[in-house]
Amino acid sequence: MTRKLSSTIILVVLAVGAALSFFPIYMAIVNSFKTQGEIFSSILSLPTQINFDNYVEAFGKIRLLNSAKNSVIVSALGIGGILLFASMAGYKLSRTPGKLSGFIFFLFIASMLVPFHSIMISLSRVAKTLSVQGSTYGLALIYIGLGVNMAIFLYHGFVKSIPRELEESAHMDGCGEFQTFFKIILPLLMPITVTIAILDFLWIWNDFLLPLLMLTDVNKYTLILSTNMLFGEYNKEWPLILAALVLTAVPVVLIYAFFQRFIMEGITEGAVKG
> What are the domain boundaries of the chain?
61-273
Whole-number pLDDT of residue 268: 57
In tens digits, the chain (274 residues) has pLDDT values of 577 777 788 888 888 888 888 888 888 888 888 888 888 888 888 888 877 888 888 888 888 899 999 999 999 999 999 999 999 999 999 888 888 988 999 999 888 888 888 888 888 888 888 888 888 999 999 999 999 999 999 999 888 888 888 887 877 877 788 888 888 888 888 888 988 998 899 899 989 989 998 988 889 999 989 888 887 655 677 888 888 888 888 888 887 777 776 666 655 554 444 4
Please count the other Cβ atoms lying within 10 Å of the Cβ belonging to residue 27: 13
Query: Global pTM?
Result: 0.83
Residue 157: other Cβ atoms inside 10 A: 19
Task: Give the per-residue pLDDT at 73.
Answer: 94
Domain range 61-273, CATH architecture: Orthogonal Bundle (1.10)
